[in-house]
Every structure is written in C-alpha cells, then in structure tokens.
Chain A
Amino acid sequence: MAHAYAPGLTVTPRIRHRCRRVLPIAGKVLVAKGDQVAARDVVAETFMPGDVMPVNLANALSLPPADVPECLLKAEGDRIEVGDAIAQTKGMFGWFKSEYKSKVAGTIESISNVTGQMIVRGEPLPVQVQAYLTGEVAEVVPNEGVVIESDVTFIQGIFGIGDETFGPIRMACASQDDSLTAERITADMKDAIVIGGARMTGDAVRKAIEVGAAAVVAGGMDDQDLREILGYDLGVAITGSERLGVTLIITEGFGEIAMAKRTFDLFASRAGDEAAVNGATQIRAGVMRPEILVPCTKAASSGEQSGKHTPGLLDVGAPVRIIRDPYFGMIGSVAGLPSELTVLGSGSKARVLDVTVESGDVVTVPRANVEIIEE
C-alpha cells in the first residue's frame, strides 16, 4: 500500500515505516504480533462470495413465472453442476416436456416466482493479502489484516503505473542525467527494479516488458510515450490496476527531466538490494503517490537516521523543487519569503518566494509552484 502524501515527496535513506495490509472484507489473519514476515508472505486471506449468474427459467421454459416452482427439480441451496437438469415442464399428457439444463456450476441462491429468475452463485473466490514489506508484524487488526513495521530506504515517486511488485535494485544509467534508452535494458534485468536517470523512452519500457523486468524507475517520461504504452490517453491520475507486465514510476514529472541527484545516489547506494515497489497513484483528496521501499538490514543501521518522519517547513534554506513552468524541474533552496502579494506575469496576485537554483541564479515563483524536498 502506497504512503499517504505529505507536502513534498519523501526521499530518505532510512525511516521507520508502517504499512497497513488489510482485506477488502472480513477474513482470517494468518500471522501474529511480533512475527517476522517476508514481502511475499501471505498475511491474511478470505473468500469473497462467488460470481453470480442469473438465469430466467420462465423465459427458458416458456412458462409464466408463477408456474416455475412446480417445475423445479432442484431447490434453493442445492449444489448444481454443468448439465444438471434444473427444471422440467409437465408437458401435455406426459409428452412434449421441455427441460432446462444448467450451463454453469455453483449453488442455487434463489428462485423467484415473481420473475422466474434463478440466481446461481459460483465458487467462492479466494482473496489473499501479501506482507509487501519485509519486517515485523507490529499490530494485528482482528479479522482484517496487519500492520507491518520495518526500517526502510523510502523513496516516493510523483506518478506511477501498475501495482505492487518486488525485485532487486539494478542501476541502468551511470548518471541521473542519462536518458533510459532501450539499449540500456539487458536480458539479465529480468525480475529487477531497473533505475534510469532522466527520461525513460517508450522503447526502453517496451524492452523492459520484453526482458521481464519487474519495474522501471526514472526521472521523467513523455506523455506521448505513456499514451502509446497504455493504448489510451490517461484522463485522471488514478492508477495501479494497469496490467502492462511492468510497474513504471517517474520521480520528477513529465518531459525531458533528470532524476534529482539525491534520489539517484540513494538508489545507487542500495543497488543489488531487494525492494518492494508500488506504482499505484491517486491524486484526489487523500493523495497516494507511488513508492519504492528497500528494507534496511540491521548491520546497515548504525549511525543512520531513524525515527518517525516529519514533514519539512517552508523556510529560508529549505531545499525545494520548482514544479511548474517556466522553471519546471529546477532544484534549489529558498532564498527569501516576501510576505506581500506579488503580481505575476499572468497578471494574478499571489504569495511568492525566491529560490536560488543550482546555476546560482535567484528566481521568483509562486509558493504554490514549489514543493519541499523531504529529508
């Protein structure tokens, strides 16, 4: 499950992360508080009521619905198989009987004498929830699921496609400024989380699907490429259910844009380690951003940051990313926070801030157009 969005995106080498894993309906929890679980372990399961198939017996037997009950050969609650005779008309003098044989298997849930409709319920559908995060069961939510806790390297992306997946981190680019092209995707990246630098090209994504990579992460991508990969133009940013064969995450935004150096270096420091990735994005009230979680081993824990994550404050010196043109993608630090409203080039009045960008220039942007880079 992806993390709820705080102002700015979290990119941190170590954080105590809690992950709530619950079933959509009540079921059975398979682990206990204090258990150590691996990402792919099933922690809770249940059975959803099976699919429903309505069959109108009155129409099938050309009878008034009220006559259906006396023609039934099976009753509500009976189990039926494909080919079983369900109902038979009385015919004329014992002749010309017509029969309805079931085309589906399941249990008869109801038969209506108002409409002549029979409802057949199929086999229960198993629903399982995996741990997703390798760690310790911190809490059991009775009949629903668990909360798992672990120290992780935590990186939030800005937008993703596809659902949960797992694999080792593989660096495909030498620098955050290198575009992720098809040539950089190799056959040995099967089942891996492939990390690029700047834009991932459409060909690179297709190659990643071909070699069977689990996920591709890069700074940006082109909307045109996304449309070609999905086969449609994405209207609203509610994703996670796509079945492309690979999960995609961009960390900065759409267009030709390099991954933030800090993010890239952090990935490089965890190269080879197993990660859990979720591309699900939901940009609505209660925002969800895609995420990459790399559990920290105990040995790696010494001297590194730990504790609960706290959102940063917009203050002079705070690292920020500009998230709208004309300076889109630039990273810098807050140089000033004038309190009075300023007239923008658009003619609107807004509260602004001054940002010293990497080139050393100071630019003025609306406060709404920056996000704090969370430590």
Chain B
Amino acid sequence: MSQIDPDKIEVILATDCGSTTTKAILIEKVDGEYRQTYRGEAPTTVEEPAADVTVGVVNAVTEVGELAGRRLIDDNGNILRPSNGKDGCDIYISTSSAGGGLQMMVAGVVREMTAASAKRAALGAGAIVMDVIASNDKRLPHEQIQRIRELRPDMILISGGTDGGTTTHVVQIAELVAPAKPQPRFGGAFRMPVIYAGNADAASLVEDVFDDSVELSVVPNLRPVLERENLGPARDAIHDLFLEHVMAHAPGYEKLIEWTDAPIMPTPGAVGNILQTIARRQGINAVGVDIGGATTDVFSVFTAPESEEPAFNRTVSANLGMSYSISNVCAEATLPSILRWVHFDMDERELRNRVKNKMIRPTTIPQTLEALVFEQAVAREALRLAYDQHKAFATTLKGVQQQRTVGDTFSQESSGQTIVDNMRLDLLVASGGVLSHAPRMEQTAAMLIDAFQPEGITTLAKDSIFMMPHLGVLAQVHDQAAMEVFERDCLVYLGTCVAAKGTGKLGKPCFQYKVDGGGLNEAGELNVGEMKRLPLDAGQSAHISIEPAIGFDFGAGPGKPVEQNVRGGTVGLILDARGRPLILPVSASDCRAAVTSWIEALELYPQT
C-alpha cells in the first residue's frame, strides 16, 4: 500500500466484492468537488471456475473504464496508478462480503454483559455472529462444547470479566473453547484465529489453556469496567485478522490486498463507518437499513441525551430477507400479519406455495401488481422484525450500578434500556433491492414509515446505488471526498415524514398543520387514522408549524406545538396522523379500508 497525499487525489476507484456481484465506482474531482461519475458491475468470481476474486474486479473496473473513457487496467491486468490524463486512478480501495462475509463465534462470561459487549464488537466490525457462548446461556458445558465443534467460524472472540476482577470464570470459558478444537471454515491448513479481549489479569492463564492449534491474539479488555465498553481494540483486531487470515485464504484476495491503498473492510463494517461519520459531522441521530435476499442489516447512531459520545450499533438479522429468507419472514411474522398490508383478496394456500417458489428461485422479480404488493407487504414485516431486534440489542450497558436519589424512587428505569428513540431520529436511510428498486419512490417511503414508525419529524433517504460501503472505506483515507460524494451523489432524498406519537379515536382531530415555502402554502387538519402527501421537490425546503391535539406529541411534549424547516425530496412531505405505536384495525374489512385509504393518500399504486 502506498502513501497517499489527500490533496493530490483526483481520481478514486472503489469496488465492493459482494457474494454475487462486484460493484465498481469511479469518483473524480469535477470543478473542485468530488463526484461519483461512473459505475460498473460484474459477477463475483470467488467460486469455480475462475476462483479468483480479482477476475470479477477487473471485469467491473473495465466496464467503468469503458464508460468513463479512461484506461484503468494496464496490459498486465493490474490497476493503473497514479492517474495521468485519461489513464489510471490515484487510489484504489475495496470492501468485501464475498464467500458469506465474516462469520464469527463470540463467548463471554455473562450473556447480558461481557458476552453482549463481545457481540457488539463483532457486529460492529461487520461480522455475522453465528452463536454466543456464555456461562449463563442455559446450555450444559458439554452442549456448549458440542455446539462450538459444529460451528465452523472464521474466528472466535472471547471476553469476560472486568480488569482486576475474578479470573476463574473467563478461564472456564476458554477451557470450553480449547478442547472443542474448532475448525476454520476455509481450508484445514490455517490455524483458527482466536481473539482474547477479557480480564487482563487472566490473559496469561488463557494463553496456557490454548495449544498451537489456534492463533491467539490478546487485546485490551472490551469491558474493562462494567460501566464502560472499549470495543475499539477488539474491532481493530477483528479487521486485522480478517485480512491476514480469512481474506488471505479466499481465492485471489492475496492479490487484491496488494492492489488496495487502504485495508479491505467487510462491507457492513464500511457501511457502519460512513453512517458514523455523517452522524458525527452533522450532529444528528441516524438509522440505516440494508435489506437483502438473505439478511437485513440495521445500523444506528444515537447520542443519548445525557451523553456526549454517539453510540453506534449494528445488528444482522440473519434470516430476514426478501428471497433466500422470504419463507422465514412469513414463518416469523405469520401470514396474517403480512396480509394486513394487502388491500385485496389473496388465496392463502396459493400464497404459501408462491413464497416457497420465491425461496427456491430467488432471482425472480414480481411481474404483476398483485405480486409486487405482496412482496412489499413482506418487506414491511421483515423490516419491522429486524428493527425490533435492533432496538432490543442497542441498549445502554447492562449490569451497571445506578446511583439513585430520592427523586428516582418511583422511576422504573433500569440499566439495559434501548437507546433507539424514534422521536430523536433525524435521518432514516434505506438500501437493498426491495427498497431501492421499488417502481415508485412513494412505495419506498411507505415501506420505511410503516416498518420503522418514525415519530415527530424525520428525513427519509435511500442509497442511490448502494454506494455506502465504498464511501465507508474512503472515509478512512479521504474524509472530505467521502462526505462530498455522500451528500451529492449517494443519497436520494425521498422527503420528510411528519408523524404524531400517541393514540386516539379514529376520525377525531390529531393535528393542525401549516406549511410555507418550496412552492407550498398549505394549511389544514388531519384526523386520527389519516395520511396526506404534499409535493416538495428535492433540493427545496419548507417551514412547517404543527399544533397537535391533546395527547399527541411531535417532540416538544404532548399537545405542544412544533415548528421546523423540513427537507423535500422525490416524494415530498408525508403527514402521518395514524398515531404511534401504529395499530392497524383488528377487523379484516376495517383494516383493508384503512390500508386502501393510505395507499390512495400516498398514490402508491396509481394503476389500481
């Protein structure tokens, strides 16, 4: 990897090697600003017959080069650097989730404390956590050992104990892992990487437990005291070992590692990176979601009211997705919950067979409107379940002693509360096929609002071409370029959702509104259960004043008025008076009537 002078960078090439597709983008300095200019893609070539990831990278880069009229690959098949006129690029960076991404097993002493912190570290680094082993996970020791033997993770993270505390429990956990002799997923020739990030006093004892069959790395404790997490060193170790061991053993990665000017990151780790950068720079709370065929990732950055430091969390809902896992969404959410969002009759037996047929032939797309409506209903439930899982995971630290005063006598608050607060959410970013490729942006916005149920005033956006992974790595080497491209080319703003928190009787007044600016001069009142869309173009903003009815809250407290500037987008302004939590009518006919009215208000399916 070469040293880079950020001021001299004019042309940036970035790739993301996914399980099926390798995506390449070109970023160029145009009139003094960094812009994403061209993109190309090609099938990923990790598997036979090519079995070399760089073949797919070269194909994708060649496509970009042809579109841009720029020679990016030299005669030897290498990436041409530095740029010179219409040749080459200045830096090349990449992310990867090919071969199923990074799969980890984590272990800790107490499931809700050190094991939860270890899981957070692994997820934050972009891994899929296959299982969490803990002293209190309700499995007997021999069952835990059997489980470790069955898993074939890429690496293992062990934590437990606070620094200076008891050493016995964490050594006991190591003693479960060591005899299981876990086998790495790729190839029997390399040693399983094990990271120890527990009680520093127990490090030498843990080293004694393991023999030469594993590659043990000791890093600072990820929970040095109960009140604080220190996930950075463990995450860095995961990234390093990911490159040194996992990636280096995947076909062609040795060459790819040599090509890149910054370390290759796991794709979700890079997405988390860019989201944190934006939240930090703009001082906002943000949630990002990426719904794929097999899994759904949710990322959040929230600053707790009493804290200065934004907390980043990522969850992977491993079996919530729109094709490979669609059947699992139906099993978990149940078909009646999905059909709540469908405004016409569907035969349940037929539908179940269709779901299974989508599962076994995951690349098919809905041809009819009926099939599209059903798929978007499934997406709402998949996103809702994934967000519920995220909220349950993104909590304040459990096990922390709290100082209580007399004033807290009747307070029910305890440690381990979710830090995800929809009222304080400023930006919700969507990506993934069903959201990005919906025929109408109104459909994307509606899926987001129904699933995430934002409260108060929330900006909605989508990642135009799933560029966030590329920008996540770029942020590490060129913060400014990453931010400029993110603002100008990455996000497509859908608009703003203005939603009332609280519940009331259907048809009773919910709030009055007045909107000025951006070509709008509207005022009116919405009753409970109603929705309204006001067009407000991308790049425009308007001023909104809201007078909520008693019991409804927009962020200032129940019944208190709110005024704010709101951002426009391809959908515009969505006023939502359905209340929060969003409860759909129980009776099937009432539910259908309500859903039909929302579909009409937002013009989701104008062809019906």
Contacts and interface: CB of A to CB of B under 8 A. Distances in A.
Contact of A25 (B100, B180, B188, B365): B188
A167 to B, nearest CB: 25
A24 B182 CA distance: 12
B222 interface: no
Nearest to B148: A52
Contact of B167 (A24, A114, A323): A114
A25 B189 CA distance: 10
A235 B319 contact: yes
Interface in A150-187: 158-159
A115 interface: yes
A94 interface: no
Interface in B343-374: 349-350, 352-369, 371-372
Given A52-B145, A54-B141, A115-B168, 16 more contacts: A4-B47, A115-B171, A115-B175, A117-B175, A233-B330, A235-B331, A236-B319, A253-B360, A253-B361, A254-B353, A254-B360, A324-B358, A326-B367, A345-B367, A346-B367, A368-B363
A316 interface: no
Given A253-B361, A326-B367, A114 B168 contact: yes
Contacts of B331: 233-235
Interface of B: 19-20, 47-48, 98-100, 141-142, 145-146, 167-168, 171-172, 175-176, 178-181, 183, 188, 205, 209, 294, 319, 324-325, 327-328, 330-332, 349-350, 352-369, 371-372, 437, 439-440, 605, 607
A349 B367 CA distance: 10
Contacts of B372: 346-348
B175 A366 contact: no
11 contacts: A25-B183, A114-B205, A117-B172, A158-B361, A223-B355, A223-B356, A233-B331, A328-B354, A346-B367, A347-B439, A368-B363
A223 B52 CA distance: 39
A85 B369 CA distance: 73
Contact of B48 (A4, A121, A158, A236): A4
A112 interface: yes
A30 interface: no
Given A54-B176, A254-B357, A345 B365 contact: no
A235 B325 contact: yes
A269 interface: no
A246 to B, nearest CB: 19
What are the nearest 7 A-B pairs in CB distance?
A: A235-B328, A347-B439, A346-B372, A285-B19, A255-B353, A233-B331, A254-B353
Contacts of A366: 364-365, 367
B167 A255 contact: no
A371 interface: yes
A223 B347 CA distance: 13
Interface string A201-239: 000000000000000000000111010000001111100
Nearest to A117: B175
A325 interface: yes
B142 A53 contact: yes
Contacts of A51: 142, 145-146
Contacts of B440: 347
Contacts of B355: 223
A283 B353 contact: no
Nearest to B145: A52
Sorting the interface of chain A by its residue count into under 10, 10 to 19, 20 to 34 or 35 or more gives 35 or more
Nearest to B144: A54
A147 interface: no
A375 interface: no
**Majority secondary structure of chain B interface residues (helix, strand, loop or mixed):** helix
A124 interface: no
Given A115-B168, A235-B319, A235-B331, A222 B349 contact: yes
A285 B20 contact: yes
Contacts of A235: 319, 325, 327-328, 331-332
Nearest to A371: B361
Interface in A23-79: 24-26, 49, 51-54, 65
Contact of A112 (B141, B175, B354): B175
A114 B325 contact: no
Contact of B369 (A65, A121, A222, A347): A347
Contacts of B349: 222-224
B142 A345 contact: no
A26 to B, nearest CB: 6
Contacts of A4: 47-48
Nearest to B330: A233
Given A26-B188, A328-B357, A369 B367 contact: yes
B364 A368 contact: yes
A54 B145 contact: yes
Interface in A309-355: 323-326, 328, 344-350
Given A224-B352, A236-B319, A346 B368 contact: yes
Contacts of B319: 235-236
A289 to B, nearest CB: 9
A119 interface: yes
B327 A236 contact: yes
B359 A121 contact: no
Contacts of B175: 54, 110, 112, 115, 117, 119
Contacts of B176: 54
Contacts of B439: 346-349
Contact of A368 (B324, B328, B365): B365
A273 interface: no
Contact of A237 (B100, B181, B359, B368): B359
B179 A284 contact: no
Contact of A283 (B20, B324, B352): B324
Contacts of A284: 19, 100, 294, 324
A331 to B, nearest CB: 15
Nearest to B140: A54
Contacts of B168: 65, 114-115
Contact of B354 (A26, A117, A233, A325): A325
